[in-house]
């Protein structure tokens, strides 16, 4: 199929392009930008007048809840949510049930995702069997099955020696280890940022040092092993500072932040709003400001949706009993644009989109997130000015809970193209 997306403002951060340009797609790949290749006759034309045409979004953390938690969400619903949100490539953590620690499970997930033919799914394999932090998984086999890295999701490794071995082993084969820095003991059972708000509400806290202690440990292990580590969901100003220093030192580390942490603070918990119960917890305004500054200076490589569908039964509970997490695939674009509004300069939009396209792709070692000629034609067409109100019932995701419910946001997806095929259009 040949597709012609015309009259749009084409923004391709990977190639530094931000201009009015047509996009030509043939055989699932980008055929040309600007002028049609010789003899190009489009089967379908999308008029993108007034729209932005950008690479499909690359999301470094989206929980699809399959296998095991189909009552919370299914691959169908979440992949639909992805394309409605303009996300064409997503990385999913291994904390499914059973956990992704066997090649067969990974192959099945990849197979199911391929059959749906919506977004591209790249699983992370479990770093240790059952995420128990004891025995290493068959990383080579899992890589062959399609894993792009290895992670512990939300389960910190108790035994630092196992983490050391895991990093040595990963380094041997050149695999990336994805870790969310979280001490196994400090802050365990905590449900909100440790500070005045948690103290006032009588909620048990997760102190910033739960993150910084883990970062110190990880950096020391990286120094010793040389393993490449991607740090997930940095949440604090102090954590950001440590990552900045580690990068300056030349350690092979990258990092992402969850999109909620760009906008919200623990004050948004208000009167025990369980929609604001997230992991890691929302922190203070100072932390939020540090995250924003770190995105600008490059300390933070990517913004992810941290999409975590939770059903009503697990959210309509007292705050500490509610499951953490929020739906995010359909909000990633708008919430990133919201941040872009506050950036200055003519390249604000390009720089913001880089954090959800080219940079996460590079971080994950994927060829996605770009509109170079010959690249896979994963494209999002969105109206940068359309305003909409976040309404759980209107979301495609089975997860209806987000602290942004009722907020008016800007930027709406009009079409999502995956591998040259229109996967979503409105």
Partner 1 sequence: MPKLHNHPQLNKNGELQHLLTIEGLPKAIIHHILDTAQSFVGISDREVKKVPLMRGKSVFNLFFENSTRTRTTFEIASKRLSADVINLNIQASSTSKGESLLDTIDNLAAMHADMFVVRHAQSGAPYLIAQHLNRMGQNDIHVVNAGDGRHAHPTQGLLDMYTIRHYKQDFTKLRVAIVGDILHSRVARSDIHALTTLGVPEVRAIGPQTLLPSGLEHMGVRVFNNIEEGLKDVDVIITLRLQNERMSGALLPSAQEYFKSYGLTPERLALAKPDAIVMHPGPMNRGVEIDSAVADGKQAVILPQVTFGIAVRMAVMSILAGGRA
Residues in the chain: 426
**Cβ of residue 333: shortest distance to partner 1, in angstroms?**
15
Smallest distance, partner 1 to C-beta of residue 334, A? 10
For residue 27, the minimal CB distance to partner 1 (Å) is 42
Q: Is 324 in the site for partner 1 (CB under 8 A)?
A: no
Least distance to partner 1 from the beta carbon of 97, Å? 17
Q: Which of 98, 196, 226, 298 binds partner 1 (CB under 8 A)?
A: 196
| Residue owning tokens 């993108």 | 48
In the list 37, 50, 68, 270, the residue contacting partner 1 (rule: CB under 8 A) is 270
Binding segment toward partner 1, per CB under 8 A, in 17-25, 217-225, 299-307, 309-317: 309-317
Instruction: Tell me if residue 306 is catalytic.
Output: yes
Longest dimension (CA), the chain: 69
- C-alpha to C-alpha distance for 101 and 79, rounded to whole angstroms: 22
Residue 63 engages partner 1 in binding (rule: CB under 8 A): no
- Given the residues 12, 101, 306, 378, select the one marked as catalytic: 306
Position 200 contacts partner 1 (CB under 8 A): yes
Name the region of 28 (left: φ>0; alpha: ψ -120 to 50; beta: rest): left
Distance CA 408, CA 168 (A): 47
| Cα 75 from Cα 88, distance rounded (Å) | 14
Among the listed residues 156, 161, 165, 164, the one whose alpha carbon sits nearest the alpha carbon of residue 185: 156
Q: Closer to partner 1 at the Cβ: 28 or 392?
A: 392
Which range in 3-11, 115-123, 147-155, 318-326 contacts partner 1 by CB under 8 A? 318-326
Asked if 388 touches partner 1 (CB under 8 A), the answer is no
Interaction between residue 392 and partner 1 (CB under 8 A): no
Among 205, 258, 369, 384, binds partner 1 (CB under 8 A): 205
**In whole angstroms, how close is the CB of 270 to partner 1 at the nearest point?**
4
- Residue 123 binds to partner 1 (criterion: CB under 8 A): no
Residue among 204 and 224 whose Cβ is closer to partner 1 = 204
A 10 A CB-CB count for 238 gives 17
How far, in Å, CA of 269 to CA of 201, rounded?
10
CA dist 236 → 173, 240, 264 (Å): 32, 6, 13
Of the residues 263, 372, 386, 421, which one makes contact with partner 1 according to CB under 8 A: 263
In the list 190, 195, 411, 419, the residue contacting partner 1 (rule: CB under 8 A) is 195
CB nearer to partner 1: give 134 or 204: 204
The span of 81-89, 210-218, 262-270, 342-350 binding partner 1 (CB under 8 A) equals 262-270
313 binds partner 1 (CB under 8 A): yes
Burial class (CB in 10 A: 0-12, 13-18, 19+), 185: exposed
Q: Does the protein bind partner 1 through residue 340 (CB under 8 A)?
A: no
Interface with partner 1 (CB under 8 A), residue from 29, 319, 365, 388: 319
**199 belongs to the binding site for partner 1 (CB under 8 A):** yes
Task: Tell me: does residue 404 bind partner 1 (CB under 8 A).
Answer: yes
Q: Which is nearer to partner 1, 246 or 335 (CB)?
A: 335
Rounded to a whole number of angstroms, the minimum distance from the CB of residue 288 to partner 1 is 14
- The reply to whether 318 sits near partner 1 by the rule CB under 8 A is yes
Residue 40 in contact with partner 1, rule: CB under 8 A:
no
Determine the interface stretch with partner 1 among 24-32, 76-84, 202-210, 359-367 (rule: CB under 8 A).
Answer: 202-210
Map the footprint of partner 1 across residues 406-425, applying CB under 8 A: 406-409
Q: Does 320 bind partner 1 (CB under 8 A)?
A: yes
Binding site for partner 1 (CB under 8 A): 194-205, 207, 263, 268, 270-272, 274, 313, 316-321, 338, 404, 406-409
Residues assigned a catalytic role: 306
């Amino acid at each position: 199929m040949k597709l012609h997306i015309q009259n749009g403002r084409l923004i391709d951060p990977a190639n530094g392009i931000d201009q009015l340009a047509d996009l030509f797609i043939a055989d699932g790949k980008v055929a040309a930008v600007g002028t049609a290749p010789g003899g190009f006759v489009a089967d379908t034309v999308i008029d993108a007048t007034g729209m932005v045409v950008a690479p499909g979004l690359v999301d470094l953390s989206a929980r699809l809840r399959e296998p095991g938690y189909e009552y919370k969400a299914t691959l169908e619903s979440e992949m639909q949510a992805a394309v409605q949100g303009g996300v064409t490539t997503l990385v999913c953590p291994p904390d499914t049930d059973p956990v992704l620690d066997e090649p067969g499970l990974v192959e099945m997930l990849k197979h199911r995702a391929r059959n749906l033919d919506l977004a591209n799914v790249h699983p992370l394999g479990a770093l240790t069997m059952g995420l128990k932090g004891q025995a290493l998984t068959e990383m080579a086999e899992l890589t062959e099955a399609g894993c792009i890295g290895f992670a512990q999701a939300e389960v910190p490794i108790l035994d630092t020696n196992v983490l050391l071995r895991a990093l040595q082993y990963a380094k041997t084969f050149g695999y990336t280890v994805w870790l969310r820095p979280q001490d196994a003991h400090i802050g365990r059972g905590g449900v909100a940022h440790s500070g005045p708000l948690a103290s006032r509400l009588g909620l048990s806290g997760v102190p910033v040092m739960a993150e910084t202690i883990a970062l110190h440990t990880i950096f020391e292990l990286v120094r010793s092993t040389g393993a490449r580590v991607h740090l997930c969901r940095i949440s604090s100003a102090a954590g950001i500072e440590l990552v900045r220093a580690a990068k300056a030192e030349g350690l092979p580390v990258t990092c992402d932040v969850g999109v909620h942490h760009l906008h919200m603070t623990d004050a948004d918990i208000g009167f025990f709003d369980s929609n604001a119960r997230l992991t890691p917890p929302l922190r203070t305004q100072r932390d939020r400001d540090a995250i924003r500054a770190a995105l600008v200076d490059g300390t933070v490589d990517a913004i992810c949706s941290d999409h975590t569908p939770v059903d009503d039964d697990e959210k309509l509970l007292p705050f500490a009993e509610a499951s953490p997490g929020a739906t995010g695939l359909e909000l990633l674009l708008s919430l990133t644009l919201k941040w872009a509004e506050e950036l200055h300069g003519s390249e604000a939009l390009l720089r913001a989109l880089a954090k959800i396209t080219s940079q996460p792709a590079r971080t994950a070692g994927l060829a996605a997130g770009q509109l170079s000629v010959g690249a896979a034609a994963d494209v999002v067409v969105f109206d940068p000015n359309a305003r909409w109100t976040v309404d759980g019932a209107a979301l495609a995701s089975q997860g209806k809970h987000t602290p942004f419910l009722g907020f008016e946001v800007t930027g709406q997806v009009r079409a999502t193209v995956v591998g040259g095929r229109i996967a979503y259009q409105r």
